[in-house]
Structure 1
Amino acid sequence: MLKKTLVSIVLLIITLSIYSQSNGLVFKCNNDTYKLLKEISASVASKGEILLSITTHQDLGWVDEVEKCVILRDTLWMTPYLKRLKEDPSFKMDIEQTSIIVEYLNRHPDKKAEIQKGLDEGRILIGATYTQPYEEMFSGESLIRQLYLGKKWLTSNFNGYKSDTYYNSDVPGRTLQMSQILAKSGVKNMFVSRHEKGVFDWYSPDNSKVTMFSSGHYIDFYNILGKESEAGIRQMAEEVLFWGNYYDSKSKKVIIPALLNYEFIWDQKPVKNCDPFMALWNSIKVIENEKGEKIKVTLPPLRYGNLNTCLNAIRENSTKIKPISGERPAVWLYIHGPSHHYAITASREADILLPDAEKFAAINSLLEGTFRNYDVAAFDEAWEAKIYPDHGWGGKGGEITDRLFLSKFVKAEQDATNLLNGALNRIASKINFIQSGIPLVVFNGLNWRRDDPVTFECRFNKGEAFGVKIIDSDKKVINSQLQSQKYYDDGSLRSATVSFIASGVPSVGYSTFYAEPLKQVEKSVATVFNPVFGNQFFSVRFGKGGIERLYDKTLGKEIIDASKFALGEVFTMQSVGNGAGEFADIQQPSMEGFDKIGFYNTKWEKVSEGPVFTSFKYRQPVKHAVVEETIIIYNQIKRIDFEIDIKNWEGILYREFRAAFPLNMRSSKVTYEVPMGVVEVGKDELKGAAGHMYTTECKLIHPRTLIDWVNASDDSFGATISSSVIAFDYLDPTPDPAQSTFIQPILFASRKSCHWEGNDYIQLGDHHFSFSLYIHEPGWKNGFRSGKQGQNKLYSTMDPISGSSRPLPEEQSFFSVSGELMMFTALKKSEDDNSITLRMTDMSGAEQNIELEMFMPLTKIYKTNLIEEEEKVSNLSGKSFNLKVGKNSIETFKLKLE
């Protein structure tokens, strides 16, 4: 009885409020509002309706610690909204992401039937991704797994529900291929903010698209509800006219979108004003201006709805949707890589290790004829950890949130390592080792034959070895080099680190080498430092801060311009900023407290010299830290590695460290890898500015983010830098900027959270970074494979336990594909059966006819969408067959193998 009385009182208050505002049946307003409402009544918008989508914008944390936010989402949103959904047939709700459903059902498993009912009735929309990520922060495969753990999980757990909408409400950045990833997962719609207001068809380079809706800023409708009644009605009228312009007299259906997307920490008065405002708008039938003029008006009714209903209607009934395409460089990139170096390093490692673990676990299952040893649950758990951290770093309780995100990435990395090692050991146990010596199996996870360094540790019994020899499966001696030797008292080796170049390791396969103990003592090589060094590829001169001359003997070119910085030189600047926040441009570093290694007399030493490589090292204190750098110049492959350690870091707020790669180019093209794509600076970005408060042209935004490599090329040579860090700049931040090309990986930055109670991103501790430099003919395509190899290391398994059956040869390629710029991104057990799912992407930008080769014959192949929903079956069979892959296309196939 009390409940009914309270409801009656609320309705009476609403009715009296409407009556007072509209003076009975007449809404009195100023001349501007009168004109707007009159214009709506005469427009096509009057024939439609306004659908208000209501949701709350959710970082996993930021508002508070993640677990506290879980409680807030339950008590302030999900539970009361589901209650209203049950009691009010007109109410509908949107939920931005799938993880919210997962966490809610963990707390309330009994609520699943209510959610299912809301989905079946079309009154609940759940976003298609697991979380709302920084798209540029993840590999393309990790972005696709957002749809596996989002849309595909929803389909499996909610009676076939097909989510068709992606929410990424907050982040001002869009990666080049995200629309293709969405479209090829069955997602048609996308909500963003911090972008030009409007509806757009956002295209990927392969010509796939999604319909993207931007309200300008997700706070905008909340602000309408926060205004006095007439001011709110006036602004609502402006909204109706704006969105009504997408329709014309030929439109069969007119739906005006409105989106209330609020946060718990905002003043809730505007949210509570939603129903009264809706009632007020719907009551307006006659309007009167300041002159006393009255007219009848027909306004589109305002009702609750779901965002996908609005976007589907606009797409089907409008001819005015603007096409857009290109990378929108991330404005908030400092929040992840530079400000959370440990976490993003683990994330980037897991981006490589998890797909490789799946590849070799799937191959092992094919060899064994069963998936018994393919741990689906462990892979699922690792992928959930891998993609869990969203865009809500820092914030209130940010130390706890950041630690949770770090632990997720570390778990993903460690689980991937364990799964990978298990699969490699099982495969290695099936190899028939013919030669004498200790077998060493070198595995290649990339889909091309490659030459790269391998380093492993050998241990021996006393008197067993005084040196080590490496031979291949053809008994050919391979140049090798020992480091970190430890000896017994008789002079024999206790242990040593052995390095060699593994040549021709097959695509997604392995080669076998053997380590043989030597009875004679190996001759030591003098390690006296000389600033001038040369090998068959380069002439090098070391100086203050780094390499001051690098001459390429093959190309006959001076590679660097060391007039301001040496190659590999570390420098530090002031770096005031938040990483994320309400700013229109990336907050750039300044010269206060500038310091660099070249200000000091660099004390170089030669660390190691041999047939494989020669390495050089220095240790130099700078402001607030000590820098140690080792430069490794390989003698058999054209590659230089830079291993940088920032030690004794004092944790000073607002500092930034970068590494210098000054190239002798005046008019170069800078190109870098993004998730499943490539961006050339100044060419492949979104045209113009993104809009709203973001007025800088997208092509001018810097720094940028990369996956594995960045390339600079002019007409004379190309330089590809394979990078362990995600952020880099290509413009000189110092006074009197260099006219030559200057690539600078950003090592880390100590900024702070934009939350007023947020944490500082001090990142105390020692930090390690690695880079590989490759010099080649002009063009990024000539450095693409090397750039990938620098971060995607070869794996080695030493002295594996041999199984009872050893059918494998000493060298084997399991899967390969023609095409220099085709890349496998996944090879795994299929989700719904014991087939193999193979995903690949074209990086060339041209349609390709490729040949796919496998070590086992297949009986059938299905072309599927990205989340393995079958689309087209082919009767191709055998071990080799031809496929057509479109330009920049991401393609997924399900293989039925014998």
Structure 2
Amino acid sequence: MTKINIVNHTHWDREWYFSTMDALLLSDQVFEDVLIELEENIDARFCLDGQASIIEDYLSIRPERLPQIKKLVEEGRLLIGPWYTQTDAQLVCGESILRNLSIGIHETNKIGKHMEVGYLPDTFGFNAQMPTILRNCNIDNIIFWRGINLDKHVKSPYFKWKGLGNEEVYAANLIDGYGSIPRLFTNEEFLNNKLFKLADKIKSMTDLDEILIPIGNDQVEITCNIKNKIDEINKISDDEYVQSTYLDFIDYIRKNSEKLERYEGEFREPKTGRIHKTIGSVRYDIKKMNFDMEQSLLKRVEPLYAIAESLGIKISKNLITTAWKKIMEGQAHDGMAGCITDDVANDVLYRMKQAREIVDGIENLVKKRIAEGLKLSKDEILVFNTLPYKYDGFKVVEFLSSTKDKFVADVEKCTVLDIHEYEGKENILIEAPEGNYFINEDGYYKITALIKTTLPSMGYKVFKLSEGKVDIIENSNNLEIKNDNYKIFVENEKLCVELKDGRKIEDFITFENCGNDGDTYDFSPLRGDSNITFRIVEGIRKASEGIEKLELSGRVLLPKDLESRLDRNELKPLDIKLIISLLKDDELINCRIIVDNNILSHRLRACIKSDILSNESIASIPFGYIKRPILNGKIGDWNSSYLEIPIDIEVFEGTVSITDDKNTLSIYSKGIKEYQVIEDRMYLTLLSTTSQLGKPNLLYRPGRASGDTTKQGHVMIATPNAEQLGKNEFEFSISLLEESFNENKVEKRYEKVNSQNIFYQLQGLNKFINRLDNKIQNSRTKLDLKREYSLLEFDKNICISSISASLKDNAILLRMKNCSNEELIVDRYDFNKFKRWEIVNAIEEVQDNSKLVIDPYNIITIKLYF
């Protein structure tokens, strides 16, 4: 006899082909029924989908229910949290996943207690470091559905999942998904054809004496009188059915851990459920804005908040939490993947815009307060370094001047990259105590400059602006740029690169285009279509002593839509700019691509060629790197085994490399999330556009449409905004060096790629250069600040994950990461500006470890008290 744990739940997409407001309305009905049933049946228990945000939303319309919810949570009959939203696990950065969990736990614990289960029932596959993330939030388990292959990864749905390092969690896979039994009935036909059949299937896969079956589905109501129904089922079943919770079942697995298999790796195979392997490039605008917001919070605003707090500048840290929540609402698996309607996509982008306004406002306030405390003149500029070690390198700054001949003094090098003129204006209102009057305003200039300088760790420095002869970047028609590591040039209508050792690679960067017959879930080729490859090789050179650029542009005629692909009868222009820059002595080739898209339903990829042949790619994932086999696009027979093609198009957090142990090509992306390696070429997907939410019978995904569009009573849903028409910008850097792959080197280069240009000038020429300068009033607290300041410092060889405000105390959390397979010891640090510090986990629980040692592929969090 097997014990079958029945868990009553609902799965709650906040938005999909319906909006968050639609879901809020539905929660008023479904959640009300849940509370009524739990009150009327004291034995009933219910899981509210593992996310705190839907409770927050519900309480915003039913605040009177809070005492009842607290009581039910305390009794263990209503299980909430631990996530804030049902996060994507591949397209957001590892720090975002950690914050989703830590903020979700923090908010849930305000109500009572969080469900200590890493519950992600519908996420489209999982990175290999989920065990590490969960354990850092004191959760030792995960319950999930998609991505597993029980013919390959493990034999049983119940096992131990090990991260890349030493962390491990208990794992339970939901065979056939969270919605395999949407509602519980007791009639014979249902039991024999549905419930008993599923139970027998799961029993055949495990030697354990207990199995798990969830009852529920998308926005489905609570099963009423569940105890009576289970009693009826037990009268005719040979097994024992019991009402249970996910916690109860995890406890059982934990007690039987010696019987469990162990797996290490990711879950990205479309075997038991679709995982949409090519969804990493759909709705690029959402993915790019999410990346930008992650960087703004992690690399700019949170460190600036810490600096401000140390100087006595007070800002509510709840503003930062609010910004994170706005972003996390869009990081749920549907929203971040992009398989949503246009209306919902607009909602996601709007919430990210709100987050952008919050973080920009905080940055504006901090910079202005510090500038006022320094009593800056208009001929001074404040430059920040938010990395916790001294910075020596290039920064881009902007300042306003009444003359063109201004430069940053007291730096090693200053090159003017651009001068923008603002014309003078007449009848300018001056508001003065003695009365209002009008003047004519002279014109002025915004000057963008590249400076080579040093900056203090985690702090700022003031530089003077001087008048005189300015070094200006100059144009020429000689299409060749170089530094100590690379020479990049156009030869015979091809873009070429010559490396330090003399090796030459032709067609270094090209572009590939084809039709996309897929939808917002998956790219799929158009039957009978063929790829179009083209080059961008015309343009100008811009150069000075510190920087050299190639600015190339071109226009290619492409079939305007799917209907034109096969006979090529109607063509439209696609305009592309490719800007390549080299800094002096730098190891990176910096690329910026601007695409003015007029083409419908197509895929556009950038191809970076090397002379490296390898059997595997090495992609970054949260707090580590994973090796994947290179299949060169050759998949073999898959239709009988998979629900979609298991194509070797993969996602990456930020970097991807190939190496032959002598030479290594690495890509460092700023928002691009999808790649494929074919022989010696790395393909980065720039655009994968479509006009439909979900389509049936795709070449890469046969059968039903994803997105419910071909369900009975449903309709096809057009998504014209997913065509990404208009201007789209992409940024990445390349290193192609004579070296073997080294995780720490690649991670440090990526940290450099994402280092921020943060500066401020206290000026009156334009009060909208910084959006809130016109509205931020003088502070009552007068500061007397030093011209140079450093908050903290530690070993430059250690990589930083985040520097954020504590959710609990007047403290900051400094999180360091080790993305390598060797232990790292932090033996050089300066925390003297803090009262005390201690090692905690990601939810601020004090840890026993008193030494600053970072385990392989792991993180360590230090709590520093002001």
TM over 0.5, shorter chain: yes
What amino acid sits opposite 1:660 in the alignment? C
Aligned to 1:220: 180
1:749 alignment partner in structure 2? 689
Does the CA contact (< 8 Å) of 2:792 and 2:831 recur in 1? Answer: yes
Instruction: Tell me the amino acid that sits aligned with residue 702 of structure 1.
Output: D
Conserved? CA contact 1:481–1:610, under 8 Å: no
Moved more, 665-674 or 145-154: 665-674
2:580 is matched with 631
2: distance between equivalents of 1:87 and 1:884?
Answer: 52
The answer to whether 1:817 aligns with 2:794 is yes
After superposition, the Cα gap between the structure-2 partners of 1:870 and 1:538, relative to the gap in structure 1 and judged at 3 Å, is closer
1:786-801 correspondence to structure 2 within 5 Å:
786-799=749-762
Deviation sequence 1:224-269 (CA, Å, 0-9, x none) = 969544334641551574477214xxxxxxx44221131248xx9x
Residue in structure 1 matching 2:852, options 880, 883, 886: 883
2:31 to 71, 78, 85: 78
* CA 1:886–1:263: 2 relative to 1, 3 Å: same
From 534, 537, 561, give the equivalent of 1:597.
534
Deviations 1:97-140 (A, max 9, x none): 21221111112112222222222222222231011111112222
C-alpha distance in structure 1 between counterparts of 2:751 and 2:351, whole Å: 25
TM-score under structure 2 length normalisation: 0.81
Which whole-Å CA distance do the structure 1 matches of 2:175 and 2:494 have between them? 47
> What is the aligned counterpart of 1:400 among 343, 349, 354?
343
Of residues 129, 133, 142 in structure 2, which corresponds to 1:177?
129
Supply the AA of the counterpart residue of 2:137. Answer: S
Aligned position for 1:719: 665
Cα pair 1:138 1:348 within 8 Å, conserved: yes
In structure 2, relative to structure 1, the CA distance for the partners of 1:807 and 1:497 (3 Å cut) is: closer
- Secondary structure (helix, strand or coil) at the match of 2:288 reads helix
Q: Which amino acid aligns with 1:398?
A: T
From 133, 151, 155, give the equivalent of 2:87: 133
1:318-340 Cα offsets, whole Å, 9 max, x none, are 53222112223487567765222
Match for 1:646: what amino acid?
A: V
* Aligned ranges 1:507-586 → 2 under 5 Å: 507-518=457-468, 527-543=475-491, 547=495, 549-553=496-500, 555-558=501-504, 560=505, 562=506, 566-580=507-521
**C-alpha spacing 1:505/1:228, structure 2 compared with 1 (3 Å):** same
Change in CA separation of 1:873 and 1:110 when aligned onto 2, cut-off 3 Å: farther
Contact 1:451 1:501 in 2 (8 A): no
Report the secondary structure of 1:129's partner residue: coil
Matching residue within 684, 689, 702 for 2:648: 702
| TM-score calculated relative to the size of structure 1 | 0.78
Partners of 1:456 and 1:53 in 2: CA distance: 57
- CA–CA distance in 2 between the matches of 1:207 and 1:325? 10
**Does the 8 A contact of 1:656 with 1:750 survive in 2?**
no
Contact 1:229 1:277 (C-alpha < 8 Å) held by counterparts: no
CA contact 1:206–1:889 (8 Å) conserved in 2? yes
Question: 3-state DSSP class of the match of 1:652?
Answer: coil
Aligned 8 A contact 1:569 1:659 in 2: yes
In the aligned structure 2, how far is the partner of 1:333 from the partner of 1:235?
28
Distance 2:836 2:583 in 1: 45
Per the alignment, do residues 112 and 348 of structure 1 end up closer, same or farther by CA in structure 2, a change over 3 Å counting? same
Do residues 446 (structure 1) and 387 (structure 2) align? yes
Do structure 1's residue 378 and structure 2's residue 330 form an aligned pair? no
How far apart are 1:348 and its partner, in Å? 0.5
What displacement does 1:306 show?
Answer: 1.0
Q: Residues 494 and 628 (structure 1 numbering): CA distance in 2 closer, same or farther, change over 3 Å? A: same
Alpha carbons 2:370, 2:785 under 8 Å: kept: no
* Deviation string, structure 1 residues 749-779 (Cα, Å, up to 9, x no partner): 3363232143422222211111222343332
Instruction: State the one-letter code of the partner of 1:87.
Output: E
What's the counterpart of residue 736 of structure 1?
Answer: none
Which letter does structure 2 place at the counterpart of 1:595?
Answer: I
Structure 2 residue 82 is the aligned partner of structure 1 residue 105: no
Residues 871, 360 of structure 1: alpha-carbon distance in 2 compared, 3 angstrom cutoff: same
Q: Equivalent pairs: percent with the same residue?
A: 18
Secondary structure of the structure 2 residue equivalent to 1:527: strand
Q: How many residues align?
A: 774
Closer/same/farther in 2, CA of residues 84 and 505 from structure 1, 3 Å limit: same
In structure 1, what is the Cα distance between the partners aligned to 2:640 and 2:170? 22
Q: Is the 8 A contact 2:46 2:79 kept in 1?
A: yes
C-alpha separation in 1, matches of 2:307 and 2:17: 44
User: Is 2:208 the partner of 1:260?
Assistant: no
The offset of 1:444, in angstroms, is: 2.3
Q: CA RMSD in A?
A: 3.7
Letter in 2 for 1:557: R
Q: Cα 1:751–1:661, aligned 2, differ >3 Å: closer, same or farther?
A: farther
1:188 alignment counterpart: 140
1:456 Cα offset (Å): 3.1
**Which shows bigger deviation, 330-339 or 341-350?**
330-339
Once residues 145 and 264 of structure 2 are traced to their aligned partners in structure 1, the CA distance between those partners, rounded to angstroms, is: 16
Question: Is the counterpart of residue 321 in structure 1 residue 275 in structure 2?
Answer: no
Deviates more, 1:743-752 or 1:771-780: 743-752
Counterpart check, 1:808 vs 2:786: yes
How much does 1:539 deviate? Answer: 2.4
User: Which has the higher Rg, Structure 1 or Structure 2?
Assistant: 1
Match of 1:467 in 2: 405
Q: Cα 1:631–1:271, aligned 2, differ >3 Å: closer, same or farther? A: same
Residues 451, 590 of structure 1: alpha-carbon distance in 2 compared, 3 angstrom cutoff: farther
Per-residue CA deviations over 1:77-101 (Å, capped at 9, x if unaligned) read 2111221111112321111121221
**Cα–Cα, structure 1 residues 336 and 366, in superposed 2: closer, same or farther, change >3 Å?**
farther
The question of 1:90 aligning with 2:53 is answered: no
1:861 and 1:895 in contact (8 A); partners too: yes
Q: Distance in 1 between matches of 2:350 and 2:296?
A: 16
Look up the match of 2:295. Answer: 352
- Distance in 1, matches of 2:498 and 2:305, equals 44
Gaps of 5+ in 1: 1-39, 248-254, 286-298, 733-738, 875-881
Q: Are positions 1:770 and 2:709 aligned together?
A: no
Aligned to 1:367: 311
Given that 2:401 and 2:446 are in contact with CA atoms closer than 8 Å, whether structure 1 keeps it comes out as no
> 1:403 deviation in Å?
1.0
2:794 maps to 1:845: no
**Structure 1 residue 382: Cα displacement:** 0.4
In structure 1, the residue corresponding to 2:488 is in which secondary structure?
strand
- Partner residue of 1:30? none
